[in-house]
Amino acid sequence: MKTVPHYIGGKRVEGTSGRSADVFNPATGEVQAQVPLASKSELDAAIENAKAAQPAWAAMNPQKRARVMMKFVDLLHRDMDKLAEALSAEHGKTFPDAKGDVIRGLEVAEFCIGAPHLLKGEFTEGAGSGIDIHSVRQPLGVCAGITPFNFPAMIPMWKFCPAIVCGNAFILKPSERDPSVPLMLAELMTEAGLPDGILNVVHGDKEAVDGILDHEDIMAVGFVGSTAIAEYVYTRGCAAGKRVQCFGGAKNHMIIMPDADMDQAVDALIGSGYGAAGERCMAISVAVPVGEETADKLVEKLAPRVESLKIAPYTAGDDVDFGPLVTQDAYNRVKGYVDAGVKEGASLVVDGRDFSLQGYEDGYFMGACLFDNVTKDMSIYKEEIFGPVLSTVRAKTYEEALDLAMSHEYGNGVAIFTRDGDTARDFSSRINIGMVGVNVPIPVPLAYYTFGGWKRSGFGDLNQHGPDAFRFYTRTKTVTSRWPSGTKEGAEFVIPTMN
Ligand code: NAD
């Protein structure tokens, strides 16, 4: 049986804890690898290693650190197919979508090549008589990232690229469900010239996460995953005095105004609702048509499209729309929600629960489901399903639709489809959600902007990637200096002011 080892000090390291987890092939249900789950002492050894390596890396000039990122980008291009293949095999998403996962991470690595510019401080000459002030951004030391299964390339890169280029060492604790790509990425960083010990991959579960949160040498923690764990990591990490940012679950609404281009809206809902089997934190899971006529038209156009989606393993070709869910647990959870929706009285317009694929009967394939007449009190509306299930909530007016999205506990992404600029402007301005799309269904900001949800989709005050990442992974030091001018002054007993 293949094992996916840790990566510590620039080397693959087998686990010694005696604990491991199965890595499944989601298309067949077979166990395809074992991943070790680190003990606290294995984690401590990795942190010690990282701590020892960090000062020399921080002392290297930022241009040289940026060149490692430059080379890393080249290597990602070189190994794109290999990475995407490994990603699809463990996650189950289609091959083109797996490439997208790598590319969205690569774009952050590209942004990080600008580190020499992004790390520049400020300088004031002559702030007082003979006094200059300057500020610098210095790395924190050893930082850690805890990442989810659904973007096993992109999110680890969103974490370690900015942290490392700022001069930190990094411990990555990726999802134990699809651990191969994070390991491959770390090896590529070594090949790109990163010194040993600066990027370490430590696989594990709660024990490793708690070890990270309690360790005094971990200065900052970036987490992405479900909201319950995000809140736990945020609370425990902050209590231990660390800098922490945690990004959690979502329930993203798409409002369809009566004047929207209906074909465009349907295309958008199909891609953003069912792509990656709905296992995206920026998936649209709630369609909110405004007015009965809009709703009838929307559902009528959506239903045949949902029924004809091609669901298959990634090996079946690039025209597959989506693949299996990641695990049996995920399958059971999604199916449980669909059952609950029916019980609670929603109309199941397209029922994908009986979907089965010849030769893949033990895989975690769930057919696409479409609900109509969903209401605010139903669990399928309130909770994140994270599967190929789209709920339609009919709103009578624009204000009612706006209020729905605003009252939901999650605030990751939202979209509005309309031809009216005034409505779009009003919506973008008033909505209390972190990422907004206007006629764009999955408004994931590009690498040079920042990514982050509001409300219970995000904990902490800085976003991921973009300029915020450089703030999160550095701290500011401000130096006030005066050089002797030749005249010696006596001691001053009054607090200095700059008058
Ligand atoms: P998850 O919360 O189960 O796992 C995330 C990480 O936490 C993993 O590394 C896992 O090993 C660890 N973990 C799991 N249980 C833990 C526990 N009890 N104590 C400590 N650590 C624990 O999430 P997932 O299922 O891997 O990912 C899907 C979730 O992530 C969805 O809710 C999705 O919306 C969210 N997500 C959010 C964003 C965002 O940017 N907001 C992006 C991607 C995914």
Sorted by where each begins, the domain ranges of the chain are 6-248+457-481, 252-438
Catalytic residue among 112, 143, 161, 281: 281
Give residue 487's identity as a one-letter amino acid code: T
Give which of 252, 239, 304, 176 is closest to 416, Cα–Cα.
252
Pairing type for strands 413-417 and 252-256 reads parallel
Question: Is 279's C-beta closer than 6 angstroms to any atom of ligand 1?
Answer: no
Output the CA 225–ligand 1 centroid distance in Å.
Answer: 2
Cα 187 to ligand 1 centroid, rounded to whole Å: 24
Q: Based on the number of CB atoms within 10 Å of its own CB, is 44 exposed (0-12), middle (13-18) or buried (19 or more)?
A: middle
Strand partners, 99: none
278 lines ligand 1 (CB under 6 A): no
- Does residue 218's CB lie within 6 angstroms of at least one atom of ligand 1? no
Judge if the beta carbon of residue 384 lies within 6 A of ligand 1: yes
pLDDT at 494: 83
Q: 283: which residues sit within 8 A by CB, 6+ positions away?
A: 250, 252, 272, 273, 275, 276, 386, 442
- 397 Cβ neighbours under 8 A, 6+ residues apart: 290
Question: Which residue in 8, 89, 43 sits closest to 326, CA to CA?
Answer: 89
229 lines ligand 1 (CB under 6 A): yes
The predicted pLDDT at position 491 comes to 75
Same fold, 6-248+457-481 and 252-438: no
**Strand 6-8 relative to strand 11-13, pairing:** antiparallel
Give φ, ψ of 396 to 5 degrees: -80, -35
Which stretches of 92-130 are assigned E, i.e. beta strand? 122-128
Ligand 1 touching residue 457 (CB < 6 A): yes
Pick the atom of ligand 1 nearest to 281's CA. Answer: 34
| CATH architecture, range 252-438 | 3-Layer(aba) Sandwich (3.40)
Locate 368 and state its tokens. 């696409």
State if residue 175 touches ligand 1 by the CB under 6 angstroms criterion.
Answer: yes
| Region for 455 from its dihedrals, namely left if φ exceeds 0, alpha if ψ lies in -120 to 50, beta otherwise | left
Model confidence, pTM? 0.96
For the chain, give the number of residues: 499
- Alpha carbon of 458 to those of 247, 403, 412, 413: distances in Å? 4, 20, 8, 11
- Atom 35 of ligand 1: nearest residue by CA position: 225
Atom 20 in ligand 1: residue holding the nearest Cα: 206
Give the model's pLDDT for residue 496: 76
Q: In the annotation, is 161 catalytic?
A: no
Residues of the chain with pLDDT under 70: 486-489, 499
Q: In angstroms, what is the span from residue 362 Cα to ligand 1's centroid?
A: 25
Are 440 and 417 contacting, i.e. CB atoms less than 8 angstroms apart? no
* Substitution candidate for ligand 1 out of 224, 247, 332, 455 with most atoms within 8 A of CB: 224
| CA atoms within a 13 Å half-sphere pointing along the CA-CB vector of 262 | 13
Pocket test for ligand 1, best of 201, 227, 281, 464 (most atoms within 8 A of CB): 281
Binding site membership of 386 for ligand 1 (Cβ less than 6 Å): yes
Q: Does the beta carbon of 327 lie inside 6 Å of ligand 1?
A: no
Using a CB cutoff of 8 Å and minimum separation of 24, what contacts does 112-116 make? 112/66, 112/69, 112/161, 112/162, 112/165, 113/66, 113/69, 113/70, 113/73, 113/165, 114/66, 115/62, 115/65, 115/66, 115/69, 115/165, 115/166, 115/470, 116/61, 116/62, 116/63, 116/66
Q: Is 149 close to ligand 1, i.e. is its CB under 6 Å away?
A: yes
Residue 427: what pLDDT?
Answer: 98
494 CA to middle of ligand 1, Å? 54
Report the distance separating Cα 290 and Cα 321, nearest Å. 28
Closest residue (by CA) to atom 34 of ligand 1? 249
Ligand 1 in contact with 205 (CB < 6 A)?
A: yes
| 247 CA to centre of ligand 1 in angstroms | 9
CATH class of 6-248+457-481: alpha beta
Nearest to 101 by CA among 83, 113, 89, 114: 83
Q: Which atom of ligand 1 is nearest to the CA of 148?
A: 26
Distance, CA 493 to ligand 1 centroid (Å)?
Answer: 56
Q: How far is the CA of 246 from the centre of ligand 1 (A)?
A: 10
Identify the residue whose C-alpha is closest to ligand 1 atom 28: 225
pLDDT at 442: 84
Per-residue pLDDT, 486: 65
> If you measure from the C-alpha of residue 44 to the centroid of ligand 1, how many angstroms do you get, rounded to a whole number?
22
What is the 301 CA–ligand 1 centroid distance (Å)? 34
Q: What count of other Cβ atoms lies within 10 Å of the Cβ of residue 11?
A: 13
